[in-house]
Structures are given as structure tokens and as C-alpha cells.
Structure 1
Amino acid sequence: YEQIQQHVSESDPSSQVSQVFEKSLQYVKRFSRYKNPDAVRQVRKTLSRYGLAEFELCTLGNLCQDTRGEATALVPSLKSGGRFVGKAGNEKIEKMLTDLSLIKKLE
């Protein structure tokens, strides 16, 4: 019976979609940083004010870096793009991280 069930599930496309969906859902739950949808909206809104590219916004929002060094190591385009260069740029990055930290604490 188990061999037949396994064969049917391997050959049934809807079963494969279900398995992919289930694995994806488990992955997302494991790495989910924010439990409240309002917090996610707030993170996006906060980071959008800094003129970030979508990749930068997603990376910073999801990885929850603690330091400017971590943020620029994980998102090198913050420094290479020229938007966050020098003392003023460093202060903007610090402000972004502080804003994200506050959202996470208030969740």
C-alpha cells in the first residue's frame, strides 16, 4: 500500500504542488521575523523613505541586522550606490536600523 501511495503521489502533479507549497510554508514560518502584518507594513513604509531598491528593502527588512557593518556586508549596494557614503550615510544606515529595531520591539 505504501509503495502504491508513494507512486501515486510522485506521479500526481497536484500532490507535488501541495508538497512544494507545504515545504515553502515551513521555510517561510521558520525565517519569519515579524508575526504581525501591520509590523510588516510598517517596516516596508519605514524603509521606503530611504529610497532603497526592492532587493535592499527586502534584505534589510528580513535579516534584521544589528549593526551598520552587518547591513553593509549583507547589502553592499548601500555603500557602492553612493547614497549612504560618509558620515551622513552612516548616520542614515544607523537610523534605519534603529527604526527597524523599534518596530520589532513594539510588535
Structure 2
Amino acid sequence: MASASGEEEENAAELKIGEEFLKAKCLMNAEVALILEKKYDQLQQASEDASSQVSQVFERSLQYVTRFSRYKNPDAVKQVRDVLSRNALSEFELCVIGNLCPDTAEEAKAMVPSLKHKGRGLDDEKIDKMLNDLAVIRKFE
């Protein structure tokens, strides 16, 4: 749908999220947690009092992504990205599914409506297989 200025409106359900977002690399919460934990460890090693080196925003960001990360093990995080990347998902779709961990194809399509579009090669059977692969990774975490 075009606005009066001729620009398309953004709509995540249809993957109309803006050119800059379509090209951007998205990170799942678990990936951000790994990055922030590594940075926190580096700050701890560099200073006796790591808390003096860490801003409140950094600390709260780390707490948030740690709390909402479904995967803690770095190998599991890599496996999740590999499984999702094999299924021709956009970065946005990959991160939503990786963060929210739906159990069924129906649930995944409710969370990420762009999965419903025909012609992508993602039928319910393929989506369920992908979600089952993620469940196995979570189970052995």
C-alpha cells in the first residue's frame, strides 16, 4: 500500500520493513548475550572493579538478553542460526523465530505472518521440521 508521498508503508507481516532492515544482519537475543558476556569478561580482566567500567545501560542490556535467551551454549546458538539459515528465512524472520521458539507451524505463522506467503518453499511440513530441529537443540542445551 502506498502513502500519499508514493512511499510504501512498512509492514512486518509482509516483510516490508524498509530497505536498510532487509539488508541488515539481525542478531537473536542469545547472540547478543554472547557478545555482551564476552565484553563484560574483557572488562573484568582489565580492571579489578569491573562494575566501575560497566554502564548501567550495558548491565541492563546484558541482563535482558540473558533472561530472554532461549539458548545459553555458544554451540547451540550457532546450531540454531544454521538450522534457521538453511530455510531461506529473512534475517528478521530468523531472529523472531529464534527468539520466540514457536512449537508449531501455525504458531510460527501467527508470530511471523510473512511465512504464510506461497512460493517460498516453506510449507507447514518444512516449518514443523525446522521447529522440531530447534526443539532438539533446546532439549540438549
Q: TM-score, normalised by structure 1?
A: 0.76
Name the Cα RMSD after superposition: 1.7
| Partner in structure 1 of residue 79 of structure 2 | 42
How many Å apart are 1:80 and its aligned residue?
2.5
Q: Which residue, out of 89, 110, 114, partners 1:52?
A: 89
Q: Distance in 2 between matches of 1:84 and 1:27?
A: 34
Would you tell me which structure has more helix in proportion to its own residues?
A: 1
Q: Which has the larger radius of gyration?
A: 1
How many Å apart are 1:82 and its aligned residue?
3.4
Verify the 8 A CA contact 1:68 1:93 in the aligned structure 2: yes
1:101 lines up with 2:135 in the alignment: yes
Q: What percent identity do the matched residue pairs reach?
A: 70
Verify the 8 A CA contact 1:65 1:71 in the aligned structure 2: yes
Gaps of 5+ in 2: 1-51
Equivalent position amino acid for 2:58 in 1 = F
Gaps of 5+ in 1: 1-14
Structure 1 runs of 4+ aligned residues shifted over 2 Å read none
| Partner in structure 2 of residue 90 of structure 1 | 124
Q: Distance in 1 between matches of 2:64 and 2:112?
A: 22
Q: Which range moved further: 53-62 or 75-84?
A: 75-84
How many Å apart are 1:47 and its aligned residue?
0.9
SS of the residue aligned with 1:26? helix
